[in-house]
Amino acid sequence: MFDRRGFLKFGAKTGLATAFMPLWMRLAGVEAYGQSTSGYKAIVCISLVGGNDGNNMIVPLDAATYNQYASVRQSLALSQSSLLPVQTSSGKTYGFHPSLPNLSSIFSSGSASIIANCGPMDQPVTKQALQQNPNLLPQLFGSHPVGLAQWESATAESAPSSGWGGRIADQIASQSGLLPPVLSLSGVSTFTVGESVQSVSMMQASAGDQPLPPELLDPTISIANIDSQSNNEIVQRAAQLRNSALQMQTILQQSQTLGSTIKTVFPTSTLGQNLQTIAQVINGKQVIGASRQLFYANVGNYDTHGAQSATHASLLSDLDSSLGAFVAALKEIGMFQNVLILTLSDFGRTMESNSTAGSDHAWGNHQFLIGGGLAGNRIIGSLPDFDIGGSQDYTGQGVWIPTIATQQVAANVATWLGLNSSQIASIFPNLASFSATPVSF
């Protein structure tokens, strides 16, 4: 039998403390359960926290460009024989990092593309313009938390108030069934924050969370019901939020249970388990009744200033095996055509290696775009010229000036999800600063 003190002690371990955060207040009901999930679409955004080295994720294999790459990268250069060759739909050949066999296969099959040299900026910029006006740089340029927030907000601001996932969620709230449109496996992030809609943080056993045991559910609800009658307004409101949180976690557990028959084996890493949970929720989407959803997860340790080669290989191996299993699971449940997967990261890393066999903070970077419904097997945009000190290098170390803005990437994700031009204009008001949007999916 749990008394109040025992309940609160257990609540700290189960994640029930999040019940005191602002949450979606929609109650489960017949109308919501009856919503159609036909035409279902979902976005899955994965943040590679720390600044992934895109320069070694994909490498040109033509002899002249590869030799230039090897000359500049020095100790960080991957041997040409180790790279996994892929050919684009235009006939050009590139090499994927040797830790990416699954992603190279998915790319070659036509279900993935690389968005090349993209990053946060408020308007198209050139090296000459930046030299004349450094204020054209993203605010607090080079900061990890700011760089990630800028990618996740699709702005160049240092303290954005919302993320582009949350702002999309504001527009599709009526299509999300019993829960908010945004579900996070990695807690609160800039990406998930909307102007009106709050995200749900999904509890993960792999991260130390514990779902509430069934035998505690009734006592917990009873305590909340008693507290909801309290004369203390704070206690009363907290009880209401606690009930709302319990309802949402119950719905999520039901959707995961329905989806737990997935046969695909996932890695035991945090990212692997998070993607398994997302696959289960998508498989059990009829419990939630959503036709549109956004999922967020992140994975850290991409800040490779020293001894980069081994660390980066291990990180990419986990990313590759986790995404490989996720794609296999989506195909198993017949949902690969309905899901778009996008990687994000704080910023790129310098083309030149540093004195500790690592690389430093840069700007433009390359991101994976994966989905069964894509025109894949492409390099969207173009890799920069490996010309140190040239027109695409901001600092003389291989800090590539982006040629595609985060707004352009995110706006095309929103278009794929089905938002119209007026909705997209309200979500990305600065998009009009870019005369073209070269990220057609």
Residue 97 in contact with residue 133, Cβ under 8 Å? Answer: no
Residue 320 in contact with residue 271, Cβ under 8 Å? Answer: no
For the cut 70, the answer to whether the pLDDT of residue 234 exceeds it is no
Question: Which run of H or of E encompasses 272?
Answer: helix 270-283
Write the pLDDT tens digit of every residue in 339-357. 999 999 999 999 999 999 9
pLDDT (mean) for 85-107: 97
| DSSP letter assigned to residue 194 | -
What does the domain layout of the chain look like in residue ranges?
4-433
How many Å apart are CA 70 and CA 66, to the nearest integer? Answer: 6
Question: Which run of H or of E encompasses 375?
Answer: none
Q: Which residues pair with 48 in a beta bridge?
A: 299, 345
How many Å apart are CA 68 and CA 72, to the nearest integer? Answer: 6
How many Å apart are CA 136 and CA 196, to the nearest integer? Answer: 30
339: Cβ contacts below 8 Å, ≥ 6 apart: 41, 42, 43, 44, 282, 330, 371, 372
For the cut 60, the answer to whether the pLDDT of residue 43 exceeds it is yes
How many Å apart are CA 323 and CA 276, to the nearest integer? Answer: 10
Tokens read off for 5? 């003190």
Backbone angles phi, psi at 308, to 5 degrees: -70, -40
Which of the residue ranges 166-175, 196-205, 427-436 would you say has the lowest mean pLDDT? 196-205
Q: Which residues pair with 115 in a beta bridge?
A: 367, 380
How many Å apart are CA 78 and CA 323, to the nearest integer? Answer: 22
12: Cβ contacts below 8 Å, ≥ 6 apart: none
pLDDT given at position 30: 31
Residue 285 in contact with residue 293, Cβ under 8 Å? Answer: yes
| Overall pTM surpassing 0.95 (yes/no) | no
Q: Mind giving me the DSSP string for 105-158?
A: HHHHTTSEEEEEEEE--SS---HHHHHH-GGGSPTTTT-HHHHHHHHHHTS--S
Q: Residue 232: is it exposed, middle or buried by C-beta count within 10 angstroms (0-12/13-18/19+)?
A: exposed
Secondary structure class of 27 (helix, strand, coil): coil
Q: Which of 174, 164, 150, 237 is nearest to 195 (CA)?
A: 164
Q: Categorize the per-residue pLDDT at 51 as very low, low, confident or very high, splitting at 50, 70 and 90.
A: very high
Q: How long a stretch of residues is the chain?
A: 441
Most confidently predicted of 22-31, 148-157, 243-252, 427-436 = 148-157
Residue 71 in contact with residue 335, Cβ under 8 Å? Answer: no
Q: Categorize the per-residue pLDDT at 235 as very low, low, confident or very high, splitting at 50, 70 and 90.
A: low
Backbone angles phi, psi at 370, to 5 degrees: -130, 135
For the cut 70, the answer to whether the pLDDT of residue 55 exceeds it is yes
Backbone angles phi, psi at 26, to 5 degrees: -75, 130
pLDDT given at position 250: 78
Tokens read off for 187? 């807690």
Tokens read off for 230? 């309290």
Which of the residue ranges 8-12, 206-210, 232-236, 265-269 would you say has the lowest mean pLDDT? 8-12
424: Cβ contacts below 8 Å, ≥ 6 apart: 411, 414, 415, 431
